[in-house]
């Protein structure tokens, strides 16, 4: 009756019926009330009431409501933002079979948002998301498990199975990761032929690194196997902060992949944080690409910013020494954090407007 009244836009009557249903623990009634109050449809908009109704529906076993409540508490109105509450809702949603809840709870556990950072818990949550056919859940779980050095064979085999699931579910990066494991014989039987097939599958799906890996294998045909080959692949992250240095839009092609490789890149740049901050003390950004070699940082190229800042940043980056080999691009935030964030927001808005104005 409540839903029928909603369909007729008779909201005062609808809320009476839905409230009665919710009071009797009918999850759909609570969920619909949450939707109405979140959107302000026929009732006064109230994120707090919406979160409360979603939580009641979640407690009644509705996984979709747990996800909706978690999203509201994680990313919604500041008045109801509560990462711990979001994590609890996601966990209940995952237990109720919501794939998005499992995935979001895994992301929080991996990043220590709303809970203690716990990779073991994150892997378990990603595995649950994977079992519910989340390709990205499979990939993320495998990423957290896989290590070419120092990992237990059973854990790498577990990672390879997750990469395989991601690949079968249409995630080309899963094919890439399984290809690497197969090429090295880590967590999967070693086979150069099967590795190339997996790389080709990723390439056919539009994954540039897959095409790069195929070309690398074909170029090095003389090698008896693929265990000694160095195949640099791309890892990226929207934002990362290490030792108070923030990089936006970080993307690197390196022999090692994943969040740990990107963290190492950021940590390496952070050694020159004081010199970088001096390039724009009041806050600024430096969109830059560069190449690491074991003994130098070179080919430093800028895609924006004034010349003085560019010269200053180039001088600071040339002093960086590390054991890394590869190429990266990022927007480096400089100086005062608030000023740098404003400069980055202005840059993002300008780029968006430029794209919108194009043909």
Task: For 173-187, write each residue's pLDDT tens digit.
Answer: 999 999 999 998 999
- pTM, full prediction: 0.73
Q: Which domain holds residue 280?
A: 234-356
Residue position matching structure tokens 């519910």: 132
In terms of domains, do 128 and 11 share one? yes
Which of 201, 231, 261 is the endpoint of a domain? 231
193 and 291 share a domain?
no
CA distances from 352 to 286, 339, 346, 355 (A): 18, 20, 10, 5
Q: Are residues 142 and 100 in the same domain?
A: no
DSSP 228: T
- For residue 72, name the pLDDT band (cuts at 50, 70, 90): very high
Residue 105 shares a structural domain with residue 141: no
Sequence-ordered alpha helix ranges (H) in the chain: 2-7, 11-23, 27-39, 47-59, 63-75, 83-95, 99-111, 119-131, 135-145, 153-168, 172-184, 192-204, 208-219, 259-270, 273-277, 307-317, 337-356
Domain total of the chain: 3
Q: What is the pLDDT of residue 326?
A: 86
Report the DSSP pairing between strands 233-242 and 296-302: unpaired
The closest alpha carbon to 262, from 282, 283, 236, belongs to: 236
Residue 10 pLDDT: 93
Confidence of residue 41 (pLDDT cuts 50, 70, 90): very high
Instruction: Provide mean pLDDT across the span 306-331.
Output: 89
**What pLDDT score does 290 carry?**
93
Q: What mean pLDDT is reported for the chain?
A: 89
Residue 324 or 76, more confident: 76
Say if residue 86's pLDDT is above 50.
yes
How far is the C-alpha of 309 from the C-alpha of 326, rounded, in Å?
Answer: 24
Higher per-residue pLDDT: 154 or 305: 154
Specify the pLDDT at position 357.
Answer: 34
| pLDDT above 70: percentage of residues in the chain | 94
Residues 151 and 240 in one domain: no
* Cα–Cα distance measured from residue 138 to residue 178, given in angstroms and rounded to the nearest whole number: 12
Res 132: pLDDT: 97
| Average confidence (pLDDT) over 80-104 | 96
Q: Say yes or no: 302 and 247 in one domain.
A: yes
The answer to whether residue 226 scores a pLDDT higher than 80 is no
Kindly tell me if the per-residue pLDDT of 353 is higher than 50: no
* Residue of 277, 266, 290 lying closest to 333 (CA atoms): 277
Residues, the chain, total? 359
Residue 355: pLDDT over 50: no
Mark whether 109 and 143 lie in a shared domain: no
347 and 238 assigned to the same domain: yes
Give dist(CA 149, CA 240) in Å, integer. Answer: 24
Residue recorded with tokens 């003390």: 281
- According to DSSP, the β-strands at 284-293 and 233-242 are unpaired
Higher pLDDT: 339 or 355? It is 339
Mean pLDDT of 288-303: 88
Q: Are residues 264 and 182 in the same domain?
A: no
Q: Does 225 lie in the same domain as 247?
A: no
Q: How high is the pLDDT of residue 358?
A: 36
Categorize the per-residue pLDDT at 356 as very low, low, confident or very high, splitting at 50, 70 and 90: very low
Q: Which residues contact 339 (CB under 8 A, 6 or more apart)?
A: 280, 282, 283, 284
CATH number for the domain that contains residue 146 = 1.25.40.10
Tokens 């799906």 correspond to 205
> Is the pLDDT confidence value at 14 over 70?
yes
Do 7 and 127 fall into the same domain? yes
Mean pLDDT of all residues in 80-98: 96
Tokens 């690398």 label which residue? 216
Q: Give the position of tokens 């400069």.
A: 343
60-69, 199-208, 320-329: least confidently modelled range: 320-329
274: left (phi over 0), alpha (psi -120 to 50) or beta: alpha
Q: Are 301 and 290 in contact (CB under 8 A)?
A: yes
pLDDT for 52 beyond 90: yes
Q: How confident is the model at residue 276 (pLDDT cuts 50, 70, 90)?
A: very high
Q: Of 117, 132, 147, which marks where a domain is finished? A: 132
Domain final residue, candidates 179, 197, 231: 231
Q: Do 116 and 44 fall into the same domain?
A: yes
- DSSP for 151-193 reads --HHHHHHHHHHHHHHHHTT-HHHHHHHHHHHHHTSSS---HH
Distance, CA of 232 to CA of 216 (rounded, Å): 9
């Amino acid at each position: 009756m409540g839903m029928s009244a909603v369909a007729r836009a008779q909201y005062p009557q609808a809320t009476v019926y839905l409230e009665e249903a919710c009071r009797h623990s009918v999850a759909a009634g609570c969920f619909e009330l949450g939707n109405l109050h979140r959107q302000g449809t026929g009732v006064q908009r109230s994120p707090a009431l919406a979160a409360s109704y979603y939580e009641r529906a979640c407690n009644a076993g509705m996984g979709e409501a747990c996800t909706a409540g978690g999203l509201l508490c994680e990313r919604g109105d500041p008045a109801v933002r509560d990462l711990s509450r979001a994590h609890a809702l996601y966990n209940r949603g995952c237990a109720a079979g919501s794939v998005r809840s499992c995935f979001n709870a895994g992301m929080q556990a991996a990043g220590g948002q709303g809970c203690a950072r716990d990779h073991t818990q994150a892997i378990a949550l990603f595995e649950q998301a994977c079992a519910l056919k989340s390709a990205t859940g499979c990939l993320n779980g495998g990423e957290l498990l896989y290590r070419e050095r120092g990992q237990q064979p059973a854990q790498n085999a577990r990672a390879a199975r997750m990469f395989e699931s991601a690949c079968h579910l249409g995630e080309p990066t899963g094919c890439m990761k399984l290809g690497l494991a197969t090429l090295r014989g880590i967590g999967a039987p070693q086979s150069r032929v099967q590795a190339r097939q997996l790389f080709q599958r990723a390439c056919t799906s539009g994954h540039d690194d897959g095409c790069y890996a195929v070309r690398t294998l074909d170029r090095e045909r003389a090698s008896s196997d693929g265990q000694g080959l160095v195949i640099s692949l791309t890892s990226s992250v929207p934002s990362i902060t290490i030792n108070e240095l923030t990089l936006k839009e970080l993307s690197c092609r390196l022999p090692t992949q994943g969040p740990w490789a990107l963290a190492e890149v950021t940590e390496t740049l952070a050694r020159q944080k004081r010199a970088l901050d001096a390039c724009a003390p009041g806050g600024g950004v430096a969109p830059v690409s560069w190449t690491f070699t074991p003994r130098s940082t070179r080919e430093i190229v800028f895609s924006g910013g004034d010349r003085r800042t560019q010269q200053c940043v180039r001088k600071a980056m040339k002093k960086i020494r590390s054991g890394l080999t590869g190429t990266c691009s990022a927007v480096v935030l400089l100086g005062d954090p608030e000023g740098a964030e404003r400069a980055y927001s202005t840059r993002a808005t300008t780029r968006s407007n430029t794209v919108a104005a194009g043909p």
